[in-house]
Amino acid sequence: MDKFEKLTGIAAPMPLINVDTDMIIPKQFLKTIKRSGLGVNLFDEMRYDDEGNEIADFVLNKPQYRNAELIVAGDNFGCGSSREHAPWAIKDFGIRCVISTSFADIFYNNCFKNGILPIVLPQEAVDVLMKDAEKGANARMTVDLEAQTVTTSDGESFSFELDPFKKHCLLEGLDDIGLTMEKASAIDSYEAKLGQSMPWL
């Protein structure tokens, strides 16, 4: 998993509330178990019409937001079914950070396992960030995970809270497998001892 330390990029404004996981990645794209290739179908039903043509006024189809790396979202982002394909699609599109007043718990935790930083801030702060994001490609936000701050293109900064363990995992690029591999030497030692004491296993 890629490390997340400091990100400066374009933020796409998405003020919709209750964006659920079926909106993020519709059910017909859940057949794959690959984490790659889903970015093209991110927000599929909002990005494309019935003929597969781009809907011009959807935020991620606008020229200034095609390379967005952050989303500033409305309340309760990632609600609905607990599909891990949702953060897979977000990451594959190129989004590394989502900022909202609240997230659904399962989606929130899945983000950390896939190298995405979900940031919870008060409504007043999100309102400021939303307005900054609406400036387009010339307005770049900076997220500093170590300092736990989000800074607007005008230099206004907001601090966010984060569980220390989740922060450690993102900074070091550790998913569940990576965390297990950190203990590889202890696991090898245990298995060697077990092999001697219980050779029939």
Interval 114-172: pLDDT, tens: 999 999 999 999 999 999 999 998 889 999 999 999 999 999 999 999 999 999 999 99
Query: How far from each other are the two terminal CA atoms of the chain, in whole angstroms?
Result: 34
Q: What is the pLDDT of residue 80?
A: 92
Q: What is the pLDDT of residue 182?
A: 57
pLDDT tens digit string along 88-113?
999 999 999 999 999 999 999 999 99
Sign of the alpha-carbon dihedral angle for 102, 104, 107, 109: positive
Strands 6-14 and 70-73, by their bridges, are parallel
Q: What is the pLDDT of residue 31?
A: 83
131, 86, 92: which is closest to 104 by C-alpha? 86
Residue with tokens 């230099």, as numbered in its chain? 155
Q: How many domains does the chain have?
A: 1
Residue with tokens 């017909």, as numbered in its chain? 28
- The parent domain of residue 80 ranges over 6-197
Q: Is the pTM of this model over 0.85?
A: yes
Residue 33 inside a domain? The answer is yes
Residue 190 inside a domain? The answer is yes
Q: What is the pLDDT of residue 30?
A: 87
Residue 1 inside a domain? The answer is no
Residue 41 inside a domain? The answer is yes
Q: What is the CATH number of the domain that holds 186?
A: 3.20.19.10
pLDDT tens digit string along 51-71?
999 999 999 999 999 999 999
Residue 188 inside a domain? The answer is yes
| Residue 54 CA to its chain's centroid (Å) | 23
Q: Taking a C-beta distance cutoff of 8 angstroms, is the pair 98, 122 a contact?
A: no
| Residue 106 CA to its chain's centroid (Å) | 12
**pLDDT surpassing 60 at residue 189:** yes
**Which residue has better confidence, 118 or 185?**
118
**What are the DSSP calls for 1-67, one per residue?**
----SEEEEEEEEE--SS-BHHHHS-GGG-S---SSS-GGGTTHHHHB-TTS-B-TTSGGGSGGGTT
**pLDDT surpassing 70 at residue 36:** yes
